[in-house]
Amino acid sequence: MVDAEVGPSPDAPPALDVQAATRTVTTASHSSRHRAPTTVPPLPSRRAPGAGWPKSTAGRPARTWQARPMTVVARAPGRVNLIGEHTDTTGGLVLPMAIDRRTVVEIERGGSTLHLVSDDEPDAAVVALGSSVPPAEVHPVWARYVAGVVEVLRPAVGGRGRVRTDVPIGAGLSSSAALEVAVALALGFEGTPIELARACQSAEQVASGVPCGIMDQLASAAGVEGHALLVDCHTLDVEPVQIPDGLRIVVVDSGQRRALATSEYGARRAQCEAAEAAIGPLRSATVADVERIADAVLRRRARHVVTENERVRAAVAALREGAVDELGSLLVDGHRSLRNDFEVSTAVLDELVEALCRRPGVHGARLTGAGFGGCCVALLDADAEVPDLGVRSWVVRPSAGASVVQAPT
């Protein structure tokens, strides 16, 4: 931390050069691989208005330096996926929304280690910049996501700080994506939301060993208040789709932790790739193409993906027309497909979806996220009572994506 009363000449570079740090970040991130964003606006600037060296009252640079706090505060929301499950890894369509639950990371920049404490964790995340320890082997477990971001972004400067969140942890609302995105911004990441999402997707992969798609990080980075995001995961075009006021979105926790998600997620992804080897890209395949797959399991996996992409298109049309019953039916069909064809549901999730759909004012429900436990998402009339099924639930609102709320001064 720069805390010198008398320092070098005001023309000298600062000891902690935030611009240099962000340059390093930009170079070390995957800018050459990134496509220019089409519809996503740039992230708000992280340079505070009037930020710079202290000036004397005469307008000349002061000879004596003041303490220059380098505190950065960044926040990133969790997400819920309305429909479009297990389609992102084959370049298909998804319809997630950022939610009004966020992770806030506050860092005092400086030094060559990133040291974060969390209100929710007994042990700190301590990550040495340039460490050779693979992020997936770091302890405590939550520090792996911090280490993943550090490994991908390679920031020049670390810091000390704190993490707070009201995203339910481990419930399938992408608490890890929210952490990654907030840490990346707090470390000075500069780029588009798509670049931010791609960097954090890589961070998640190295931290968890799961070959996840881009949906969670992109929803967190690019969320638009009042809207879900129609994402084409091949082109990475993002189109905000308004959520009607009359719709209440509720996330219901099955209480079942996602035990098999790590191993089975990779297996499903490999099966989709095997199906693509037989009939070409699933994102442009038809149900008739799928019927040509000889292996019955691969055929089912591919049928889920192809029909799910169709359901996303139909769901967007239903949202635009305010056809909430139609939207609800699509969610239920999606759940059935995840259960029968993609086989990522559980008996607990199936019962929860059925129980939710029996309640008055509920238009539809389905498991959301990777499956094997986690949460269901349900669509309710705005004035309908949230069903009390004896499990945790949260009413969530479509919210804005990640931002820096306090830039370094």
* Binding footprint of ligand GLA on the chain (CB under 6 A): 85-86, 88-89, 212-213, 215-216, 369-370
CA distance 404 to 285: 40
Using Cβ positions, the residue closest to ligand GLA within the complex turns out to be 213
Nearer to ligand GLA, 206 or 386 (CB): 206
CB of 163 to ligand GLA, least distance (A): 20
Nearer to ligand GLA, 274 or 389 (CB): 274
| DSSP-assigned letters across all residues of 3-70 | --SS-S-TTSPPSS-HHHHHHHHHHHTTGGGPPPPSSPPPPPPSSPTT-SS-B-TTSSBPSSPPP---
Q: How far is CA 223 from the centre of its chain?
A: 9
Nearer to ligand GLA, 22 or 337 (CB): 337
CB of 39 to ligand GLA, least distance (A): 20
CB of 77 to ligand GLA, least distance (A): 15
Nearer to ligand GLA, 89 or 254 (CB): 89
Contact of 77 with 98, CB cutoff 8 Å: yes
The amino acid occupying position 396 is V
Residue 105 makes CB contacts below 8 A (sequence gap 6+) with: 73, 74, 75, 116, 161, 162, 163, 179, 182, 183, 185, 186
CB of 79 to ligand GLA, least distance (A): 9
Structure tokens at 74: 């960044």
- Annotation marks residue 11 as catalytic: no
CB of 97 to ligand GLA, least distance (A): 14
Catalytic residue among 3, 100, 123, 216: 216
CB of 342 to ligand GLA, least distance (A): 10
Nearer to ligand GLA, 157 or 305 (CB): 305
Nearer to ligand GLA, 248 or 268 (CB): 268
CB of 270 to ligand GLA, least distance (A): 13
List the 375-381 sheet strands across, edge first: 362-368, 375-381, 247-253, 393-396
CA distance 169 to 165: 9
Residue 287 makes CB contacts below 8 A (sequence gap 6+) with: 303, 306, 307
CB atoms within 10 A of CB 238: 23
Q: How far is CA 354 from the centre of its chain?
A: 28
Tell me the sheet residues that pair with 74: 105, 404
Nearer to ligand GLA, 85 or 151 (CB): 85
Compute the half-sphere exposure of residue 271: CA atoms within 13 Å on the CB side of its CA.
24
Contact of 177 with 199, CB cutoff 8 Å: no
Residues with a catalytic annotation lie at: 216
